[in-house]
Amino acid sequence: MSEGLDVGGTRCRGDSMSGGLDVGGTVVGVGHGVVMYDEHAIDGTLLERRRWSCAPVEPTAEQVSAPVHVAFISWRVATGDPEWPRRLRWVVVVADRRTGARDPEVVCGQLERSDGSGWERIRHAVTDVIAGVSGPVWVAVPGRMFATARVLYEAGVPVTRGAADDNRAMARALEVIQVARAREIDRAAGHGPSNGVAASLSPGALDASDEGDPRPRREAVVPEWLPVAAEATLDPVDRLIVATDASVTRNIAAVAAVAAGGGYAIETSDTALNVSDSELDAISLSIERFASRVGTEFTIISDSRDAVTVADALIEDRVPDEGYRGIRDESLDRFVAAWSDVDCAVRILHVKGHAGHPLNEAADELAHLGRNAMSFSREQVEREFTARVEAVGRYVENLSDEDVLVPYRMLSPEVNRPMSWTLGDRSLRVPLGATTVS
């Protein structure tokens, strides 16, 4: 086994996760979508989740070594047009090491009107770029772009979803997105190109001639009910790893925490602010529910950069500005209160979401179930909600220590280096990878 990081009593391994695990009669394809239970065994379909799992997550060795790497990212821009308030934009970046070009090629496009041709335009945006390429090609899209990955995969494009650290075009694509979004913020605030947020960033490739307005605030959603669930019957342990996640739609949110060994908790709210705020609440929930059962070391994995960054600041007694990263004071106070009651060492790690880690996927599923259940009456959906939540709990309970290993490829070095955690009133700073094994 290659080097790995000791996380919550298990080791982070450097090798990739592939293949499948037989759990409760279903096949869990790690890295190709995680199936946690048999849908046919559930009485009810209201909470059935549509899954986009056909596009692989892990690139093959041939794709990584391919001379041509392509990255595709799309996003939406506010238009100020009430009939079509959001315009779809995308960027395709091509890094071809055979040409000797220092900078990757950037191709941008946008969908002016929602005329039903969106998927066809996106498909052609990628296929036209790689049409003339002979030999292996690797196309990468971000982990949350399930539908895009599926459309490209079904068109025969050699695409992967997430896990794109080795893709030579992705860094440039993310840079273009950063500049484009900064320009949108500047235009909304009335700043010019020389005195706004974008002025301090690298030049982007997008035309900034159009004007954009902030996205209008939509009306609040009134949930049918606020479901909760908890199963925290874990025996006291020396070390524990827990994954957290949140699912938010407008003002309603569900946050979830799931522990290796089968414990879980779901909490819902109709006063949510945004995803980052709810993600920090999910971390707080995990500490409140599980930290008291841990003797030495408690590890939390979250796929929210904002929540991990803010938690790390609070751990080090740095107080974020009001509204920093969109997180309100109530959530900051909740985290500090939960943290103050902890006796064991705690470390919070950022992992890449939807990259195939079973605990992260389980937390995502529980959060989704909680949020989706609020759209139906309690009488309609409570039985199905309970059955699905308990099925996820059984899936997690059957995971082995080997299954919950966190590969290095899922950690974000820019967020996790150095990691901060405390033991009592003593703060420790541990560089990423400091505790390794071979």
**pLDDT score of 374:** 93
Residue 359 maps to a domain: yes
| Whole-number percent of the chain with pLDDT over 90 | 28
CA 376 to CA 315: how far, in whole Å?
A: 39
Query: Do 44 and 188 belong to one domain?
Result: no
Single residue among 168, 200, 232 that ends a domain in this structure: 200
**Ramachandran sector of residue 33 (left: φ over 0; alpha: ψ -120 to 50; beta: rest):** left
Residues 130 and 237 in one domain: no
- Residues 81-130 pLDDT 10s: 666 666 788 889 999 888 777 778 888 888 766 556 778 888 998 999 88
Number of domains composing the chain: 2
Q: Give mean pLDDT, residues 201-228.
A: 55
When pLDDT is cut at 50, 70 and 90, the band that residue 260 belongs to is very high
- Higher per-residue pLDDT: 25 or 338: 338
Residues 291 and 348 both lie in one domain = yes
Q: Is residue 420 part of a domain?
A: yes
Please tell me whether residues 110 and 65 are part of one structural domain.
yes
Residue among 379, 432, 386 at smallest CA distance from 409: 432
The yes-or-no verdict on residue 287 having pLDDT over 80 is yes
293 and 328 housed in the same domain: yes
Q: Are 32 and 42 in contact (CB under 8 A)?
A: no
Strand partners, 110: 89
Residue 363: exposed, middle, or buried by beta-carbon count in 10 A (0-12, 13-18, 19+)?
A: buried
Which neighbouring-strand residues pair with 297?
239, 345
- Per-residue pLDDT at 84: 64
Do 234 and 314 have their domain in common? yes
Question: Does one domain contain both 380 and 243?
Answer: yes
Is residue 408 domain-resident?
Answer: yes
Alpha-carbon distance 362 to 285, whole Å? 16
Residue 283 resides in a domain: yes
Give CA–CA dist 203/208, Å, rounded.
11
- Between the alpha carbon of residue 359 and those of residues 15, 77, 355, 384, 401, the distances in Å are 18, 33, 11, 22, 11
Is residue 3 domain-resident?
no
Question: Per residue in 377-390, pLDDT tens?
Answer: 999 999 999 999 99
pLDDT in tens, 10-54: 323 233 333 332 323 333 323 335 778 888 888 888 888 765 446
| pLDDT of amino acid 10 | 32
Residue 179 has pLDDT above 90, yes or no: no
CATH number at residue 27: 3.30.420.10
The verdict on whether omega for the bond into residue 59 sits within 30 degrees of 0, i.e. cis, is no
| pLDDT, mean over the chain | 75
Q: Which position has the token pair 């759209």? A: 375
25-34, 79-88, 185-194, 296-305, range with greatest mean pLDDT: 296-305
Q: Is residue 119 part of a domain?
A: yes
**What sign does the dihedral 345-351-357-361 (CA atoms) show?**
positive
Q: Same domain for 322 and 409? A: yes
- pLDDT above 90: residue 418: no
CA geometry: angle at 17 spanning 15 and 22, to 5°? 140
Is pLDDT at 7 greater than 80 in this prediction? no
pLDDT score, position 322: 63
User: Is residue 216 assigned to a domain?
Assistant: no
Query: Structural domain of residue 382, as residue ranges?
Result: 18-51+222-437
pLDDT > 50? residue 72:
yes
Verify that 28 and 158 share a domain, yes or no: no
